[in-house]
Structure 1
């Protein structure tokens, strides 16, 4: 599920401060990054058996390389996903997310947005 109108989408930030500030908010940069893209995930455990939720923030380099640490990243619209063990994460609009989970995700992203404002280019 896309979490629209967070103020994060289309933000442009250097990768090093982005790594730092998202780390402060418990987002982990995924191992699937490459020279051009980054993915940060925030894990939310669920009481449902074999289900975990994730807030995902993705971005791509508009200049520089992620691997070298000199990339300038443009962020995309954050996503809320549901991980089904062992199949993977689903971000589709057909997924049902509890209202309190969506509110929690929005609150977390609001905190991230405030800090991103300090580093925007």
Structure 2
């Protein structure tokens, strides 16, 4: 994990507004959100190792399962997950069965190193996100 300094840290916004700004840029709300916290994820690359830019957020007014929730953004960071090249099942598994196994595969390294080139990409992406979000302050 590589923390990235940003001017969006500790800023408070409507989650709906953030979604409207970030989803067109490729961000998704990570699937392991809770009622009071979650994160926006952007997959940067997936060539053997999955590199993500993650922007965590916490509910400050309301909860994430209700419309109109207001959230506070936290420090963005880069993370890398290295997955197994093959799954445990012998032979190819096409269709739904194969995708279900691949989807829930456990990373062999959930905190792989992030090379300098991806850190530079992450910093550029954070600047772009700042240019989208900060004007709505």
TM-score w.r.t. the length of structure 2 is 0.74
Shift of 1:68: 1.1
C-alpha separation in 1, matches of 2:117 and 2:36: 34
The residue that corresponds to 1:20 in the other structure is 20
Give RMSD over aligned pairs: 1.7
Bigger share in helix:
2
| 95-104 or 72-81: bigger deviation | 95-104
Q: Which runs of 5+ in 2 are unaligned?
A: 84-105
The alignment status of 1:55 with 2:48, answered yes or no, reads: no
- Distance in 1, matches of 2:21 and 2:38, equals 14
Given that 2:5 and 2:76 are in contact with CA atoms closer than 8 Å, whether structure 1 keeps it comes out as no
* Larger relative contact order (CA 8 Å, sep ≥ 6): 1
Q: Which residue of 1 aligns with 2:10?
A: 10
Q: For 1:51-107, what per-residue CA distance to the aligned partner results, in whole angstroms no more than 9, with x for missing partners?
A: 1111111100111122112111101101110112132632xxxx5322221111111
SS at match of 2:39: strand
